[in-house]
Structure 1
Amino acid sequence: MVLKLYAAPIARGSSGVVAFVLAEKQIPFELIVVDMSANDHKTAEFLAMHPFGQVPVINDDGFILYEGRAICRYPAEKYADQGTPLLPPTLEGRALVEQAASIEYANFYPAIAKLGMELVANPRRGLPVNQVVVTQALAELSTTLDVYDTILGKQKFLAGDQFTLADVFHLIAAPRLASEGVDILTTKGPNLARWWNEVISRLAWVRLQAEGIKSTPSW
């Protein structure tokens, strides 16, 4: 049974990152489009899979899993020897991935999410931008990125010299913000810019942005 991915077809957010991981791992899947505007995510059938009524969700031969970061870890583990190795083979290497992934979740993502709400979501809803929140979030993000630039001056990626899930998770929100003109990841430091440009230039990601999410993509 082919893996089923329940998501919107637009390649952004957690759904886009899950599709990216499936592409990197060369895992065939069937896209089940969830139309949020039609409240497909609030049906009894969908809520039985994801009690919070969100995307993405996967169904791998009856095994249901939700939450983007958790979903990404699953194929990286299950198909470790297939496609791009997104987790190192050693305990120490995997611990370093979890360390970097924890920093993304606790330090990087919260600041990016605040900026996304104020600079993208609120204007589209006709709501005013809270400049105090923007200034605070930019300061928080700047502090994190200063450390990132130092780390990336010593190694190629955030968990070492291998591209891993720790790097992948940064694609959840940052590209959307960059498309709205907040491109701090390429201007904060040379090592940071080199890393980020390499991440967003990966073939699977470039194709996802051009084509959106499709069943069993041909990359």
Structure 2
Amino acid sequence: MAPKLHGSLFSTATLRAIAALQEKGIEFEFVAIDLRAGEHKKEPFLSFNPFGQVPAFEDGDLKLFESRAITAYVANEYQGKGTELAYHDAKKMATVGVWVEVEAHHFDPIASKLFFEKVVKPMFMGLEPESVVVEENQKKLGEVLDVYETRLSKSKYLGGDEFSLADLHHLPTMQYLMGTSTKEVFEARPLVSSWAKDIMARPAWIKTLAMQKQA
């Protein structure tokens, strides 16, 4: 029985989980959750995630929520299939783990604020971004990406010389931001810019975006 992923194709967290499944070449069933109708705040979805946030994931009798927990499970459960997003080697995986944490605690909080201002407000709420909030967070993003620029001078990808969860987790929010003027913050750093273009061109990510376009 194929795994099921419950979510919204416009949710960055859902796209993160889909990208991992696509990288591993796993057939899965997608169950669309209508966020505008509030389906994520009602049963039966709350039985999957009591916090009422997408995505949620089923694989047999296992139920998971939180996108990074889902990607970690997919990477480890399906080792040997598709892209090796996680590794048995403890030292190698520890390095990947550092940059997974960096994405979650340093990149994502800033990028998500910019995503809300530059994408969600104009597209879904008919509102203009707050220029002060955008300026403040683009400065913060630049400081984080300066660290990335240094890291990428030492390895092709954040977790080492191979694509991993550390890179994949950036894709959804970064994809949205690259469609806004915030792309200049990425493009101002040559190694970051090359890395972003590289990972956004991956076949698994192209398949993920194709799913979104069909929605």
Q: Report the alpha carbon displacement of residue 45 of structure 1 after superposing the two structures with TM.
A: 1.6
Distance 1:197 1:12 in 2: 21
Distance 2:33 2:159 in 1: 34
Q: Report the alpha carbon displacement of residue 12 of structure 1 after superposing the two structures with TM.
A: 4.9
Give per-residue Cα distances to partners, 1:87-142, cap 9 Å, x unaligned: 12210111111101111111111111121222222334244432222221111111
Give per-residue Cα distances to partners, 1:14-40, cap 9 Å, x unaligned: 111211111111111111111222332
Work out whether 1:114 is the aligned partner of 2:98.
Answer: no
Residues 31 and 213, structure 1, Cα contact 8 Å, conserved in 2: no
One-letter identity of the residue aligned with 2:108: Y
Give per-residue Cα distances to partners, 1:122-169, cap 9 Å, x unaligned: 334244432222221111111111111111111100011010000001
Matches within 5 A, 1:105-144: 105-124=104-123, 125-144=125-144
One-letter identity of the residue aligned with 2:37: A
Residue aligning to 2:159: 159
Task: Determine which structure has greater relative contact order: mean sequence separation of CA pairs < 8 Å that are 6+ residues apart, divided by chain length.
Answer: 1
Residues 14 and 172, structure 1, Cα contact 8 Å, conserved in 2: yes
Residues 101 and 166, structure 1, Cα contact 8 Å, conserved in 2: yes
- SS of the aligned residue for 2:5 comes to strand
Sequence identity, in percent?
Answer: 34
Give aligned pairs, total: 213
Distance 2:194 2:128 in 1: 34
Residues 128 and 201 of structure 1: is their aligned pair in 2 closer, same or farther, counting only changes over 3 Å? closer
Distance 1:127 1:212 in 2: 23
Residues 97 and 159, structure 1, Cα contact 8 Å, conserved in 2: yes
Q: What runs of 5+ residues in structure 1 fail to find an aligned partner?
A: 215-219
Residue aligning to 1:181: 181
Residues 117 and 139 of structure 1: is their aligned pair in 2 closer, same or farther, counting only changes over 3 Å? same
Residues 213 and 92 of structure 1: is their aligned pair in 2 closer, same or farther, counting only changes over 3 Å? farther
Distance 1:28 1:211 in 2: 13
One-letter identity of the residue aligned with 1:103: V
Give per-residue Cα distances to partners, 1:23-67, cap 9 Å, x unaligned: 111111111111222332222221111101121111110211001
Residue aligning to 2:6: 6
One-letter identity of the residue aligned with 2:64: L
Work out whether 1:22 is the aligned partner of 2:21.
Answer: yes
Residues 67 and 27 of structure 1: is their aligned pair in 2 closer, same or farther, counting only changes over 3 Å? same
Residue aligning to 2:54: 55
One-letter identity of the residue aligned with 2:103: E
Distance 1:166 1:153 in 2: 16
Distance 2:82 2:184 in 1: 31
Q: What runs of 5+ residues in structure 2 fail to find an aligned partner?
A: none
Q: Report the alpha carbon displacement of residue 186 of structure 1 after superposing the two structures with TM.
A: 4.2
- SS of the aligned residue for 2:64 comes to strand
One-letter identity of the residue aligned with 2:169: F
Give TM-score scaled by structure 2 length.
0.92
Residues 186 and 197, structure 1, Cα contact 8 Å, conserved in 2: no
Distance 1:197 1:158 in 2: 14
Residue aligning to 2:38: 39
One-letter identity of the residue aligned with 1:58: F
